């Protein structure tokens, strides 16, 4: 199975503490800037399918705006109820001014 790196955004598009949703072959991803480091997660709360990009990013946790579930964007692990299932994460590489993820 071939692995392909795809550009998902520019570094300048996502300031520290902000989130941007991008459409990829894997679906909608929320790309988060945590202190200059970038993380990509599925843009769906595992509790009820809400869009995580509409929530608040505080440090490395993003909070679902629907029921308050929080996820660590670096690992995808839920940090509090009602979510118990992690969100999928995708490694992000900075290549020049581009943010890329690897897709298989």
Q: How confident is the model at residue 38 (pLDDT cuts 50, 70, 90)?
A: very high
Element (H, E) at 93: strand 92-95
d(CA 36, CA 16): 6
Backbone angles phi, psi at 54, to 5 degrees: -80, -5
Q: Which domain holds residue 96?
A: 4-103
Q: How far is CA 92 from CA 15, 66, 74, in A?
A: 15, 27, 11
Q: Which residues contact 95 (CB under 8 A, 6 or more apart)?
A: 5, 7
Domain count, the chain: 1
How many CA atoms does the CB half-sphere of 18 hold within 13 Å?
A: 8
Q: How confident is the model at residue 103 (pLDDT cuts 50, 70, 90)?
A: confident
Q: Domain of 88: which CATH number? A: 2.102.10.10
Q: What is the arithmetic mean of pLDDT over 35-56?
A: 94
pLDDT at 36 over 80: yes
Whole-structure pTM value: 0.93
d(CA 86, CA 45): 9
């Amino acid at each position: 199975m071939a692995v392909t790196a795809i550009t998902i955004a520019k570094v300048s598009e996502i300031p520290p503490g902000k989130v941007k949703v991008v459409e990829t072959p894997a679906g909608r991803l929320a790309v988060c800037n945590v202190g200059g480091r970038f993380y990509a997660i599925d843009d769906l709360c595992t509790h009820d399918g809400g869009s995580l990009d509409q929530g608040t990013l505080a440090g490395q946790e993003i909070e679902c705006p629907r029921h308050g579930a929080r996820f660590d964007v670096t690992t995808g692990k839920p940090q509090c109820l009602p979510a118990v299932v992690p969100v999928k994460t995708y490694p992000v590489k900075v290549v020049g001014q581009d943010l890329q993820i690897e897709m298989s």
